[in-house]
Amino acid sequence: MATEPHPMRFPVDHPLVQRMRTLCMRYPEAAEVIAHGRVTFRAGKRQFAIVGAAHDDRDAVEFLPDLAERDALLEREDVFVPAYEGAYGWLAMRVDSDAADWDLVAELLDASYRRVALTRQLRALDADPVVPFGD
């Protein structure tokens, strides 16, 4: 029995996807992959960012937080535990593609990338660090 493809929550040309692409594709071996109707960004095969949160109609991005910062992030009104991925330690942040704190999002994505990247990817990153978004 064939299944219906997942509808795209945020098309690849959506402003939020474009902003995330700018941030995520600067990492070593980064790849953009459509999965379950959402744009995901991966360090090789492992996801480090997802555009849109499952079952949430507002603009959001999902990431794997630095474990030392998780509790502090959850105190923010714009951060929540997303359905599905939340069970695996992921958090989501509601963002406005025009007015978000993109420097903070960039920091969160950096921590997320570092949690899933392979040693060779981290060595490449540390040899040529990603410039913060605002610079």
Q: Where are the domains of the chain?
A: 15-120
What is the mean predicted confidence (pLDDT) over 73-97? 92
What is the mean predicted confidence (pLDDT) over 86-91? 94
CA–CA separation, 81 vs 74, rounded Å?
8
> 1: burial class by Cβ within 10 Å (0-12, 13-18, 19+)?
exposed
Q: What is the pLDDT of residue 40?
A: 95
Q: Is the pTM of this model over 0.85?
A: yes
Domain 15-120 sits in CATH 3.90.226.10: no
Number of H helices, E strands in the chain: 4, 6
